[in-house]
Amino acid sequence: MRGVGAERSDAITSRDNKWLKLFRAALRGTGPRTGEAIGVEGPKFIEDALRSGLEADALLVSESGELHAAAVLRAASESEAGIARSRVLRTTDKLFESAAGTDAPQGIAALFRQPEWSLEDVLRGAGAMRESAALVIVLAEVQDPGNVGTALRSAEAFGATGAIATRGTADAWSPKALRASAGSALRLPVMRGMAVPILLAQLRVAGVKIYAARSTPGAADLDSAAGGISLQADLREPAAIFVGSEGSGVPEQILHAADAIISIPTSAAVESLNAGVAASIVLYEAARQRTEAARTASKI
Amino acid sequence: MRGVGAERSDAITSRDNKWLKLFRAALRGTGPRTGEAIGVEGPKFIEDALRSGLEADALLVSESGELHAAAVLRAASESEAGIARSRVLRTTDKLFESAAGTDAPQGIAALFRQPEWSLEDVLRGAGAMRESAALVIVLAEVQDPGNVGTALRSAEAFGATGAIATRGTADAWSPKALRASAGSALRLPVMRGMAVPILLAQLRVAGVKIYAARSTPGAADLDSAAGGISLQADLREPAAIFVGSEGSGVPEQILHAADAIISIPTSAAVESLNAGVAASIVLYEAARQRTEAARTASKI
């Protein structure tokens, strides 16, 4: 019942196989360093990545993963780079599990070359978003990879042109962030590990407004000075919005350098919003404002 | 260096101790059944729960948890119900770890009695929100406890009066949902395990409008018919907003019964939003609209 190729004599049968080690490191790590491959698990994510134009270095298929292999190989052959036959590797379910990063692995994984995004890409966007003003979410020391992934997923959903992660932020291409992003981390232009002073300088040169978002407990109560839930920022111009971790918020040096603070008013009982949610809400608000502006313009 | 009471002869020294088993079930389970206790781990969450008026059934302190015990016992003695001296239990770090649900346990945990919330509570809110029109988030078959917790955290942040979980939704009082909610699940009025037909009937009787939220991929693109990001719903009146799981969305029977669908437009590349994010955005939007309405009214 195995698919074509499953019986190849060069199937991986040792835990110490060079390729298996590379897959293990990529699928269980905290994200690839410079030059290392991005590990992607599961047929859907792999096909998505191939369709987004990423170049596969290798494909690993276990016995039970064979049923997904045909569709993935078809997607690979339709992609620009394809995938070399010699890099389609077979192994046993047991060895696959020893390398997989998920609890219920589907028996198919791939290694991809890192895409190379420039600041220009991040400000301009990929594909359909190329027409709109820059909208960049900057994750400043957001340690939880789930929150990083959630923010990237919402960034793509709400038409951000790109995302930037500062040093100290969980890697957008780590297995956990990739999963939480539902693949957006591989489609959206992303820059990782940026040093804050350099980033701030580059954004200024590019004419992008710098915003720092934070939740303000108590401000949502209607009798407070700020008066209920309302983001007072104008997010229609080119904008980079910094979001920090839940515990410590946006770092001081960014708060000082920012052109404006976006306060997300919340009720007094809640100390902060989930970092992924805070990013999602400012992105939604930016998209909402841009839509209204476009509507008004088209009516005139 | 141990605190008062650490040397008590009745410290728990067996894995099979009745109390240790109860703690293990509560701290590692998927949420309490009727009559069972809610397990809460860590000094901050326990103090929060005591301050919100929850009644502690028992407190478990390990050797390394002693340093948190004084503050927790103070919060308990200041709470209405207090905590009986005989229910402050000591154990070893090793046995505590055998019961704890977190990777790096802080050595202190509590069992709380389930709060009893009625539909009236959920529609009216607790504390400061009692003045505003009902705003209820309904989680319909949202299986991931992290997303349930995220939604509850945002619900409290944006002034929802309460939350309802239908059958098939991960338990709001499960350890994972509690942690993701950052304690909101224990403060916000919550009803769990509701049957959908009964719930719909009760909401109608109470005069609450029923909304079903879903993301609409492609609708965010400005050249589409819907025309960009904009929730077309009026969320200022009493509202119950249903959010479904990421895979299957809001169940059919709710879509049919709803007074209106809230479409969250997203770019075509993204299949859906994270369920916790979708809930957060409709709650933010409801709060935003209510704030604007209140502002306009105060200007007249």
**What residues contact B4, with CB distance under 8 A and at least 6 apart?**
none
pLDDT for res A247: 83
A146 interaction partners in chain B (CB closer than 8 Å): 146
Q: Write down the pTM of the prediction.
A: 0.90
Helix or strand run (H / E) with residue A135: strand A135-139
Report residues of chain B scoring pLDDT below 70: 1-9, 127-131, 219-232, 298-300
Please say if the pLDDT value at position A84 is more than 50.
Answer: yes
**A8-63 confidence digits (pLDDT tens):** 547 999 999 999 999 999 999 999 999 999 999 999 999 999 998 999 999 999 99
* A195-A201-A206 Cα angle (round to 5): 120
Is the pLDDT reported for residue A240 higher than 50? yes
* B289 φ, ψ (degrees, to nearest 5): -65, -40
Any idea what DSSP says for residue B249? B
CB-based contact A270 B156, cutoff 8 Å: yes
CA distance A201 to chain B (A): 30
Q: Which residues of chain A does B232 touch, with a Cβ-Cβ cutoff of 8 Å?
A: none
Would you state the structure tokens that stand for residue A295, as one six-digit string?
């509507």
Please indicate if any CB of chain A lies within 8 Å of the CB of B260: no
Band of residue A81 on the pLDDT scale cut at 50, 70, 90: confident
The residue ranges of every structural domain in chain B are 18-112, 119-299
- Cβ-based neighbours of A144, under 8 Å, separated by 6 or more: A170, A245, A275
Tell me whether strands A56-62 and B108-112 are parallel, antiparallel or unpaired: unpaired
DSSP per position, B189-218: -EEEEE-HHHHHHHHHHTT-EEEEEEEEET
Would you call B284 and A229 a contact, using CB atoms and an 8 Å cutoff? yes
pLDDT of residue A221: 60
CATH of A119-299, one of 3.10.180.10, 3.40.1280.10, 1.20.1260.10, 1.10.760.10: 3.40.1280.10
Give the integer Cα–Cα distance in Å for A75 and A277: 33
Question: Mean pLDDT for chain A?
Answer: 89
* pLDDT score of A128 more than 60: no
Residue A202: band (very low, low, confident or very high) from pLDDT cuts 50, 70, 90: very high
Q: What is the pLDDT of residue B131?
A: 63
Read off the pLDDT band of A131 (50, 70, 90). low
Q: What is the ipTM of this complex?
A: 0.88
CB B289 within 8 A of CB B236: yes
What confidence score (pLDDT) does residue B81 get?
A: 81
Sign of CA dihedral A250, A255, A257, A258: positive
145-174 of B, contacting A, C-beta below 8 A: 146, 150, 153-154, 156-159
Angstroms from A277 CA to nearest CA on chain B: 6
- Bridge pairing between strands A88-91 and A190-194: unpaired
CATH fold label, A18-112: 60s Ribosomal Protein L30; Chain: A; (3.30.1330)
**Which of A69-78, A139-148, A290-299, B172-181 has the weakest average pLDDT?**
A290-299
| Residue B195: predicted pLDDT | 96
Best residue in B154, B229, B296 for a mutation probing chain A (most A CBs within 10 Å): B229
- pLDDT at residue B2 in the model: 39
Among the partner residues B277, B285, B294, nearest to A150 by beta-carbon distance: B277
Higher per-residue confidence, A224 vs A244: A244
Distance between CA A150 and CA A172 in Å, rounded? 10
Which chain A residues are within 8 Å of B288, Cβ to Cβ?
229-230
Alpha helices by DSSP H, chain B: 18-28, 43-51, 66-78, 93-99, 119-124, 145-157, 175-180, 184-187, 196-205, 252-257, 275-299
The pLDDT score that the predictor gives to residue A10 is 73
